[in-house]
Structure 1
């Protein structure tokens, strides 16, 4: 068994609705609260269980929206009340992770934090733990560290991390390297080139750093955001001051992903390192990836999700997600995506699964928030 790391605090940002998984994922039932792997637990609970050996139950924090507090605490009964950090509204990952860093740094100036999304799927826990242990060693040396996933295919759905040629000499982290640059999602030809070069890793959005180092990077790049987070942290552990401070400060914090506010500037300055993750990882970003996850090794099969699903299929492949008792019959369709809920029906293909977000955007514009 892995022993918890004394100076390490795991942070789980649990926000967003997972719009590419609509209508399964909704504002009141976002992706991280669903069991998409057949484990019997939500993705959030799976994330908690994965981090437990590294941090212990008293040193795992969750950043989530006020509307999701009850559900999060139901899924994570051992989550300490003092480690629930509530957002009044979504403000992107810089604010969420920065808030956790500021609060935890105020409680313990020497703390190392690691941020791990609530809705990713990881297989190979021991390999994952080894990657995090290396990343913590790198963080102790004063770097911000990310864990990049070793690509298994030329994916166009992920951003990439380019490793520098020279390895980083840090005791306890034999695989550490500096990051040369981040790359946005490429086209297929470029993704194939990255796979062949073997110096590119998928960006999985995992960041490990001393809290003071991360906050200093935020102070350099986004001083107004940093100042707001520090002010919030100063009020956080006083229950009388916290609510008014959140209501006053949180809505005016800049919306920006931590990749742009911290990771990319740190990489440019030679302060960002990466550990290659050799474990299976998927962000379950759309129904195509969910179908691939469910049909692992059996691409010609039809995955069916739903305790009471009633599906008749003949020579068909893809995925059916059913939350009704309606009979769904498929004949001779390949790579189909059918999501049947009581108030909305989605039919598409794996090829067009990324375009589901456009449906969500259209529903917002037309005022159909009742199905979101």
Structure 2
């Protein structure tokens, strides 16, 4: 008798969904959205689409039906007050505050380590706080499939079906179907590939074998930490030291001592890519629209704001006059803004900084931030 097969066919004692814990990394400044997004008020704290909800609030709201109160949030220490104001539901022990940026490897790795010390059987799902997703129901369906797939011992990424040959995203090469109960669309991942050239991106799109890498991961915390330990042992040891002290009175002391010593590395390099090489990664192709709101052209595309004579206007009480113009105006002042005879313009008006560009050049806003930093004008960054 093959007892191994009998063991494998025994239904799990706990429903995988009951072991799910959502993690929201809320980091990054969003320099291509300056001067609206800044170090002290990054893009996830803003309502960038005119929906009435900030990006971080919308992220939380679409995860809660899956996780309930099991939500852990990782963000910068400087954002504590704003985050707690927008998400008062987050318990103090589930609010992880970084004393300095250490990239996604440390942020997501610490979340995994904390959850592991509490319950080694936890399945975590990491979803960035600054993405726009719709419809929410299809996103939640994909996450459920990812949870069932993760329960079989996989790190699962939710890929996005490409709508065009983008050179701004990494890609995932999809392999064979995995035939997992509860996850009919699960496939193996052959490999992750970096942001391609235009010609290569067009090849990827034409092949139908690639998905965009949206940075969404669902995995058993034990498997995440297994690969982290194998590939970044120093990072792993530091994160576990913090995690062991997390639910004790020593939390802050240990975190403040260890965190600055941790190496900086993205979770893709520390875990996802080596795990894919080991055959431990799966993908759920997401049948929903997704955008990381990377620039003002994205805001113009995604905004639900009404147009004022072919110009989208975002900002409560905005005072904008337009004639023979197109584009977008984002303002948090009461200053009158008049656009006459100008096409595809982007105007962002704040009390201490004004940006004027075009949609075609919106990806270059980061250069202004770099230039201001080089000149020492950090008060507006």
How would you bin the TM-score normalised by the shorter chain?
A: over 0.9
Q: SS at the partner of 1:36?
A: coil
| 2-structure distance, mates of 1:360, 1:329 | 25
Deviations 1:219-274 (A, max 9, x none): 011010001000110111112x1122112110111111111111111111111110
Correspondence for 2:10 = none
Quick one: structure 1 residues 312 and 297, their matched pair in 2 at CA, closer, same or farther if it must change by over 3 Å? closer
| 1-structure distance, mates of 2:244, 2:304 | 48
Correspondence for 2:33 = 21
| 1-structure distance, mates of 2:66, 2:90 | 15
Normalised to the residue count of structure 1, the TM-score between the two structures is 0.94
Matched, 1:278 2:290: no
Matched, 1:357 2:366: yes
Contact 2:187 2:284 in 1 (8 A): yes
Equivalent positions of 1:47-126 (< 5 A) are 47-57=59-69, 59-126=70-137
Correspondence for 2:167 = 156
Unaligned 5+ runs, structure 1? none
* RMSD (Å), alpha carbons: 1.8
1:105 is displaced (CA, Å) by 0.6
Contact 2:50 2:305 in 1 (8 A): no
Q: Which has the larger radius of gyration?
A: 2
Decide which moves more: 116-125 or 355-364.
355-364
Correspondence for 2:269 = 260
Matched, 1:235 2:245: yes
| 1-structure distance, mates of 2:207, 2:324 | 39
| 2-structure distance, mates of 1:11, 1:278 | 22
Contact 2:49 2:304 in 1 (8 A): no
1:365 is displaced (CA, Å) by 2.2
| 2-structure distance, mates of 1:127, 1:296 | 24
Correspondence for 2:4 = none
Q: SS at the partner of 1:250?
A: helix
Among 44, 51, 76, the residue aligned to 1:32: 44
1:296 is displaced (CA, Å) by 9.8
| 2-structure distance, mates of 1:285, 1:308 | 25
Correspondence for 2:17 = 5
| 2-structure distance, mates of 1:229, 1:169 | 35
Among 203, 207, 211, the residue aligned to 1:201: 211
Correspondence for 1:344 = 353
Q: SS at the partner of 1:5?
A: helix
1:15 is displaced (CA, Å) by 1.3
| 2-structure distance, mates of 1:271, 1:204 | 18
| 1-structure distance, mates of 2:191, 2:340 | 47
Quick one: structure 1 residues 236 and 295, their matched pair in 2 at CA, closer, same or farther if it must change by over 3 Å? closer
